[in-house]
Amino acid sequence: MTFVHEIAFTGASGAAASALRWFDAELAQALSGLANLSALDLYRPVGGTHDPYNKDEGPPLLIAVAEFPSRDALETAAAALERDLAHMPTGIAASVTAMERCFYPVDGEKTPGPLRAPFSYVVRYHRPAEDEAAFVAHYVADHPRLEARFPGIRSIMCYFPFKVAGTRRLPCCDYMLGNEVVFDCIEDFNSAMQSPVRHEMRAHFHSFPKFTGAVTHFAMLRERLVG
C-alpha cells in the first residue's frame, strides 16, 4: 500500500489548455520537490472509450497524484502542497483528497505488479451510503477479484480516503471509495468492456449495500513524472 494526495483540477472545458500550461511551467516542479515524494503521476482525460454501462461527462481538467511511502510522510507534505496551490490561474479550481492506495493482483498473479501501463479508468464512489463501512467491505471483498479477470488488465487499485488535520484551505472530495483499472491502451480497455466479465461486474454492482451518492467514471491517460 501507499498513500496519495489526489489533486483534481476543475474548470470550464476551455480552460484545459491553460491548466496544462500552468502545470508544466510552474506546478510540476513544485510538486516534484515535495518532501518524501515517491511518485508523481499526471492524468489527462481521453476520448474514444466504450463502456456499455457508463458514460460520464465533465471529467476534471487534470488529475495529479502525489504518492508517499507512509501516512506520516503524506501529512508532513500537506502544508507545502497547499502553499504550492495557493495561486492558481483564473477559472481553475482544485480539490486535494488524501487516500490510502492498495494494489490487487490481476488474474494469474500472486502479487500485484508495478504501475506501468498508461491507460486508467478512474472510478470514484461518493457519499452517502446507509452503512459506509459495509459498502466498502462488500466492494473490496469481490469487485477487485472480478476485475482481475478482465482480458488485458495490467493493474487494479482501490483508494480509501481519510482526513488530514489542519489542511482545509482547499476542499477535499466526498469520496467513500475509489477504484482504478489500468490497461496498455484504449483498445485493450474497450475489448475488456465487451467481455463477459463486464456484465458480471454490473450484476455485482446491483448487490452493493444501498448508497445514494454519485459514481463517476473517467477514462484518462497517465504520465509518470517522478518515480
Residue in this structure with the C-alpha cell 461518493, named with its chain if needed: 126
The position carrying cell 500485484 is 112
| Rounded average pLDDT per 10-residue block, the chain, 227 residues | 96 87 93 97 96 90 98 94 90 95 92 94 97 97 96 98 81 96 98 96 93 96 97
Structural domain for 89, as ranges: 2-226
77-108 pLDDT, tens digit per residue, is: 999 999 999 888 989 999 999 999 999 999 88
Which CATH number do you get for residue 89? 3.30.70.100
Q: What is the pLDDT of residues 4-34, one digit of tens each?
A: 999 999 998 788 888 899 999 999 999 999 9
d(CA 44, CA 122): 11
C-alpha cell, 46: 481521453
Q: How many domains does the chain have?
A: 1
Q: What is the DSSP track for 101-163?
A: EEEEPPTT-SS---S--SEEEEEEEESPBSSHHHHHHHHHHHHHHHHTTSTT--EEEEEEEE-
